[in-house]
Amino acid sequence: MTRNNNKTFDSAAFLANAGLGRTMIELKPKQTFFCQGDTADSVFYLQKGRAKVTVVSQKGKEATITLLSATDFVGEESLAAIVGLRMSTATAVNTCTALKISRNEMVRVMHDEPAFADLFLKFLLAHSMRTQADLVDQLFNSSEKRLARILLLMAEFGKPGEPETFIPPITQETLADMIGTTRSRVSFFMNRFRKLGFIGYNGRIQVHKSLLNVILLDQLPDHNAQKPAILPVP
């Protein structure tokens, strides 16, 4: 039987509604989508809210590896050829609405609907590029510059539309985990950003566009703005 191609598949409608193999879920802050070690049997599409993905080492140390916002997928490892276990934990940062899509339904729609497969592939490519950027950030940038980048990402600067200048609640310990430094250093940098007018704080952190100067123009006073001299090649 030939599939009817006259009707265009609506990816937005598919991701907005429950249906066969799809369940709408609501999570409160700190509730989990899935936990490290669970069976990887579904993919989640975040409709509203913010979430984080964390991993825990064998010694019990937790690290935050990425932040999620609306229109992100999470749990894509469930699409591997062999069903395995979750390698991380996804947790709601604030109130979240998400669509839980079973592995079988996700495989089916990707196979049957090229428009949806194209949408998901674009997400995976963007996710891969973000992961590479995170690695470069960790390898080459100062912890202060890494903090500026994380705050800008949380405020969604660079995405279409107006940025969400007030970022979701997040602890300095979590920020320290994400940029690979201590909580005391994060506190020092945050106070410094506030004094320079890059952020505001009145119960919630507000990120100002001027913080982009830290990333784009490396505009920080004193030694933090200086780059190491490039030595001539012998």
d(CA 19, CA 15): 10
Cα end-to-end span (Å), the chain: 70
Task: Give the per-residue pLDDT at 40.
Answer: 96
Q: Above 70 in pLDDT, residue 218?
A: no
Over range 210-215, report the average pLDDT.
84
Top-level class of domain 11-136: mainly beta
**Where does the pLDDT of residue 85 fall: very low under 50, low under 70, confident under 90, or very high at 90 and above?**
very high
Q: Above 50 in pLDDT, residue 223?
A: no
User: Average pLDDT of the chain?
Assistant: 86
For 86-120, the pLDDT digits (tens) are 999 999 988 999 999 999 999 999 999 999 999 99
Boundaries of every domain in the chain: 11-136, 142-221
What topology is assigned to 142-221 in CATH? Arc Repressor Mutant, subunit A (1.10.10)
Q: Above 80 in pLDDT, residue 159?
A: no
What is the pTM for the complete model shown?
0.77
